[in-house]
Amino acid sequence: MNKHTAFPIIKKTVRSTLSENLNNYTKAQSLTLASELKVETRKSWKKDQLTQVLAESIQKQFSQFYKPVVEDLLSQFGDQVEQALAFQNVEQIEVLAPLINKGFLFVYQQQDRLILVIPDEIWTDLWHDEEVEEVSFEIDSSLLVEAQAEKEKSSDYKILKKWKENAMRIYGHASSVYFSTIWNKYYDEKLTSEQIEDILNR
């Protein structure tokens, strides 16, 4: 197994909850994750306290910003995505490295296989319909132009802007067609790629 991978590989017993997976990281790996999440830490913190803060930040960032990105990338592995997936080599999951380094996914080495684990909390959030309904709200397309004056205060604009930032970081580019597809999965008011492009460019 190549030691110089783009993400941590855990050589311990596979766990299911977010806290259990985080506890399988070394302190150095946890601090690297904290830096990736932009979480402030203290040297005096014990591992349990660091794990709790990281778990809270991971769940919050996932629900608010990364859920559509994670869902889109996991869709590349087929419709029957399971909470634990086995792979033969690192190259098969390198596309998920940015999400692994954010703590949304974990990778274990089990004999000659790699096991990709989606923690319980992330798994539940991904497939729980009530969570989708909870963040849904309507946007009146006819008021988009007027809404630009308040765009810095507008939650829908901030979400689109964050999606764009995440896509640029992960894919290296951002497509208004991609954002339109993702947006229309989660919001009642449908937006075309041209409308989304207009929102992001103003």
One domain, residues 41 and 118: yes
Within a domain: 196: yes
One domain, residues 99 and 153: no
DSSP state of 10: B
Report d(CA 153, CA 188) in Å as an integer: 21
One domain, residues 108 and 143: no
Report d(CA 156, CA 101) in Å as an integer: 26
One domain, residues 112 and 194: no
Does the predicted TM-score (pTM) go above 0.85? Answer: no
Per-residue pLDDT of the chain (202 residues; tens, 9 = 90+): 345 679 999 999 999 999 999 999 999 999 999 999 999 999 889 999 999 999 999 999 999 999 998 888 888 777 667 889 899 999 999 989 999 999 999 999 998 899 999 999 999 888 764 433 333 334 344 444 444 444 433 555 677 777 777 666 655 666 777 677 767 766 677 788 888 888 777 7
Domain containing 29 equals 18-126
Report d(CA 176, CA 197) in Å as an integer: 6
